[in-house]
Structure formats: C-alpha cells, structure tokens
Amino acid sequence: MAKHLALFIPSLGGGGAERVILTIAGGLMEKGHRVDLVVASAGGVYQSEIPNGVRLVDLGSRRQIPLVLKLRDYLRSSEPDALLATPYRFNLTAVWAGFLARGKTRIGVREATFFPAKLRDARSRRHLLKKRVISLLARPTYSAADSIIAVSGGVSAALAEHFRIPEGRISVISNPIDVERTRQLAREGPGLSEDSPQSPLIVAAGRLTEQKDFQMLVRAFHRIVQELPRARLCILGEGPLRADLESQITAAGLDERVLLPGFLRNPFPVLASGSCFALSSRWEGFPNVLLQALALGKPIVATDCPSGPSEILGGGRWGRLVPVGDDVSLAGGIVEAVSRPSQHDRLVARAREFDVDSITDLYLEALQLQ
C-alpha cells in the first residue's frame, strides 16, 4: 500500500546529506509512495534536482522555536504516515514538533555524524558549550523518536554510548547510491585528463575543514611527487580552511601540481578522470564520496577513521586503509594504488551493493511502514 512520507532537511544546499535525501526521495517515488520534501528554507544548488512528483514544502524559517511550530503545523495539516529528519539539530526539531502535533505521524531521526569526534573538535569555549547543550538535549529527545537510524555501525555504537540509547533501538542503514545516475553524470561535463601511472591524478573531495584533514593529504602529496614528479592533486570543495591550504601548497612549492577548484555542482567528471581517490579524514559518519568513487571504478586509499570507510571498503577488501594522520602511509598507499592494474568492474560491483532500491526498503522497514 502506498504511504505518505515526509523528508525533513535544512535546505537544498550542496551537501552530502542533501544529495542522500534526494536519492531516498526518488527511491520512494519509484516505489509508488507520496513524498513531501520539507525544508527549513528553500533554495540551494540542488533545488533543480528534486525528483519529479516530490512536493517541496518550505517552512521559511531557520530559527529553532518558529521552526518547531511551523513543522508542528505541517504535521497537523498534512498528516504524513512518517517523517524522517536529518541532521541532528533538525532531528531534535522533528521530535519536538511531533510531540506538539500529537498526531499519528511516526517520527524517524537519521544520524550521520560521529558525534563524539565532532564534540572534541569544538574550536572555542562557546562552540563547545553549544555542542554540549545540544548533546544533553539529544539524549532524551532521541529516545522519544519512533525510529532511530544510524548510517554506519560506528555511528550506531557512538549513539548508544554517547546518548545512552539501547543499541537494539537503532537501525543501521547505509546511505544509498544510484550507480547508473552517478556514471551518467560523470559523462555530462569536462573532467581532467586521466594520465598514466607515471603522472597520476589524485582526487579528493569534501569541505575544507579540520575534519577532512586535507593538510595531511598535501603533506602526503609532497612525498608522492618525490617518486612521481608529474603527479597532480585535485581537492574538490570549499570551506573555511582554503587560505590555510593555499599557503601550505605555496610553501611546499606545489602551486603547479595542486588544484582547488572549489565546490562543483557535478563533481563526477573530475572524479571519473582521476587515477585514484584519496580520503584523508579524521572522522566521518558514512562518506558518500567513497561510494561515488567505487561507482566510477576508482582505486581508493582512505584513512581508517571512525566511522564508515572500513565498513564501505570491507576492512580493506575494496580499497586500502591507512592510519589517521599518517601522511607516510597515505602517500605509500596512493603510489601503490595507481601502479596496480585496474579493478574497475569489481569496484563498481561493490557500489551496487548499496543500490537505492534495497536501501529504501530498509528505511521503510525502520519506519515500520512495511
């Protein structure tokens, strides 16, 4: 039987969570369900990518209390069978709004962040205080949700420990990927020329923040060019550490070798033209970009950070895992990866294990809608 589902996110800006929710929305529509995409404020680079048939509901507020009240009013007027929210601040909003609406809508929260690491990364006393307040509020709020979904086993374990939630209440559901759509997008724009093993293109992607540790990747790349002088590095993404990275690149004499093109609405042509994908993060939840690299058949070298890379790469079966913060191991892994014969078909097959159809079924099951 067709159901009415609502997906609640901050906006349609260019983030991984937004892309995942759009993929889930499309998967639900394919199964014949009615889908509302509820946003705190409309706009963003992904607004034109809303799947056909999905209704956009703009609540028009980012402030917490007005947002709770507007979401409550939406739940009362539209009465969806279930609402799925993400990320964590909006998870709190969803549970509070559901309580105030006092309807029959099941409230599901999706946690994609390895929260203990995010808390430790607070950059100021005020920032830390804010995160601790949210953490304290999350403990009782998450427990009141009808469904709790974690994107990886590592995130589930962290939720159970940090928020004192019984692990039996948490469903672990990996993010989905539409492999064919990803491969189609890779053919829809100019990439960078794919070079030989003697002059490889290493690609990385993510916000330019401390979490992604691109500083360590640049140190690793400095080692790589000692062995492969014609190698290039392209880091896709934008963020607050751009100036720091640019200074580091210049100081290392790598201006001609390292590209920082910023955020690309369609990064897949560049990912497809790379010889290797590198992930240098200090922590993750479930790095979607690894699925995207697998879908394009690209060798991967990733830090074995909490959490996600090891689960996606099968403990190293579908890509090399190296210690967090170890530029020597990352450099060695990349040099080895670009020199190996292509395993394109094997890597694409791994990406297909996270197909939209099966992942969407798991979400419906977790929300107790099938």
pLDDT digits (tens, 9 = 90+) for 271-322: 999 999 999 999 999 999 999 999 999 999 999 998 899 999 999 999 999 9
Q: Kindly state whether residues 202 and 144 are assigned to the same domain.
A: no
Q: Is 162 in the same domain as 47?
A: yes
Residue 189 and residue 132 share a domain: no
Residue 24 and residue 166 in one domain: yes
Half-sphere exposure at residue 109, Cβ-oriented, CA atoms within 13 angstroms: 27
Share of the chain above pLDDT 70, in %: 93
Contacts of 255 (CB under 8 A, 6+ apart): 249
Question: Is residue 360 located within the same domain as residue 325?
Answer: no
**57 with 197, same domain?**
no
Residues 91 and 113 in one domain: yes
Contact assessment for residue 276 and residue 300, using Cβ atoms and an 8 Å cutoff: yes
Total domains, the chain? 2
For residue 32, the surrounding DSSP H or E stretch is: none
Parent domain of 46: 4-176+355-366
User: DSSP strand E in the chain: where?
Assistant: 4-9, 34-39, 55-58, 82-85, 106-111, 147-150, 170-172, 201-205, 232-236, 258-262, 276-279, 300-303, 320-322
Helix, strand or coil for residue 109? Answer: strand
Q: What is the pLDDT of residues 255-274, one digit of tens each?
A: 999 999 999 989 999 999 99
Measured distance CA(34)–CA(80) in Å, rounded:
9
Mean pLDDT, residues 190-209 taken together: 80
CATH number at 55 reads 3.40.50.2000
320-322 and 34-39 beta bridge pairing: unpaired
H/E run at residue 13: none
User: Do residues 132 and 237 share a domain?
Assistant: no
> Mind listing the pLDDT tens digit for each residue in 79-131?
999 999 998 889 999 999 999 999 999 999 999 887 655 555 545 556 556 66
Q: Distance between CA atoms of 261 and 265, rounded to whole angstroms?
A: 11
For residues 139 and 252, membership in a common domain is answered with no
pTM: 0.88
Residue 25's Cα: distance from chain center in Å? 16
- Backbone φ and ψ of 318, nearest 5°: -110, 15
Same domain, 39 and 118: yes
Q: How many residues does the chain have?
A: 370
